[in-house]
Amino acid sequence: MLVTRSPERAGALSSLLRARGAIPVEAPAIAVTPSRSGPFAAAIREAAEAGFDWVAFTSAEGVEAWFARAATLGLDARGLRAEVAAVGPGTAEALRERGIIADLVPRTYTTEALGRAFPGGSGRVLLPRADIAPAELEDLLEAKGWNVARVDAYRSRSVRSLPAKVRAALARGEIDAVTFTSASTVEGFVAAAGVPSGPAVACIGPVTARRAREAGFRVAAVARPHTLEGLVEAVERTLARRRTVSG
């Protein structure tokens, strides 16, 4: 099973796959770099001074970047003086590990669902996001009356190529499935390896699946719920069906 997450995030999915008897092959399609920008630092300071009504995190990477930057500024990010939203359980868990309980987690774990779950309001919402994240969430919140401030918490870049052993395994047809956990992993993989036709493709959610289809993949499974555990179960179901058909 090919794991295309960034090196910092691949381990959790690999562990879940290994626990189910699969052999994960890590082939990061993206590289994530926390932001060192002045605007990000200023936003963290402002949030610590109750400058925002809400801070909405849309990924665990954003949480990690926030706390890392806060530490360099000498701030205790647990003193964040705002309501906190998380796009899903993985992001909420990353917050919980650092002493913050999310006040809002949507039932469906997408940015669209997060925007729709938000109450109406006229205050300020801060979105610490990836530099390449689309503006859909901002639009949804502004439509509800919020004054939205977005800041780049981290940069996401496609890798130049996959490891040689991974390219060889793909060429020999030894990869049963490719897992995608974000639209950026799809884009990074396509840039590095194109669109192989052999492996089954499993995506963590509908946004990722849509991007994979647009890139030319035939998506075999979409996780429900949109979590790493759901993704592993989706892979299992897909490969079981393949074995039944081939048998």
Q: Which pLDDT score is estimated for 243?
A: 72
Question: Which residue stretches of the chain have pLDDT < 70?
Answer: 77, 245-247
Q: Which residues contact 243 (CB under 8 A, 6 or more apart)?
A: none
Q: Which pLDDT score is estimated for 197?
A: 87
What are 60-87's pLDDT values in tens digits?
Answer: 999 999 999 999 999 886 778 999 999 9
Q: Which pLDDT score is estimated for 246?
A: 58
Q: Which pLDDT score is estimated for 9?
A: 87
Q: Which pLDDT score is estimated for 241?
A: 84
Q: Which pLDDT score is estimated for 221?
A: 95
One-character DSSP codes across the chain = -EE-S-TTTHHHHHHHHHHTT---EE---EEEEE---HHHHHHHHHHHTT--SEEEE-SHHHHHHHHHHHHHTT--GGG--SEEEESSHHHHHHHHTTT---SB--SS-SHHHHHHHSPP-SSEEEEEEETT--SHHHHHHHHTT-EEEEEEEEEEEE-S---HHHHHHHHTT---EEEE-SHHHHHHHHHHH---SSSEEEESSHHHHHHHHHHT--EEEE-SSSSHHHHHHHHHHHHHHHHHHH-
Q: For residue 152, which of 122, 182, 128, 134 has the smallest C-alpha distance?
A: 128
